[in-house]
Amino acid sequence: MSIFVRARFDVRDRRQDGAERSATALHEAAGPEPGCPTYRWFTLPAPGAYLVLEEYADPAAAAAPQENAAGLQTSLGRCADMAFAEMYGPLGPGRPETGG
């Protein structure tokens, strides 16, 4: 069963370029990741607001970006705040699915 993630990032003042560079690099890094059929960034109507939608084949695939792109995630964290993150799917073997 797939795991889906929906997260919103709000860019801090005057850090738009850095946030966009980090988001682009994260997108490029996720593209070749096995088990990640969906990783898309969207701009929102609010200035400096972005939404990312991710899909992973299983918990191991969901953990891979944490290991492989930690530096890029840190760079994004210097430019933007995560307003929220929601995860849908199984937490792991023998655990119930989550709904947000």
Spatial separation of the C-alpha atoms in residues 85 and 83, rounded to whole Å: 7
Yes or no: say if 75 and 8 are a contact pair by the CB < 8 Å rule: no
Residue with tokens 């953990």: 63
Question: Is the pLDDT higher at 37 or at 100?
Answer: 37
Within a 13 Å sphere around the CA of 41, how many CA atoms are in the beta-carbon half? 20
pLDDT in tens, 9-49: 999 988 888 888 888 888 787 766 788 888 899 999 998 99
Yes or no: say if 9 and 79 are a contact pair by the CB < 8 Å rule: no
Spatial separation of the C-alpha atoms in residues 20 and 91, rounded to whole Å: 30
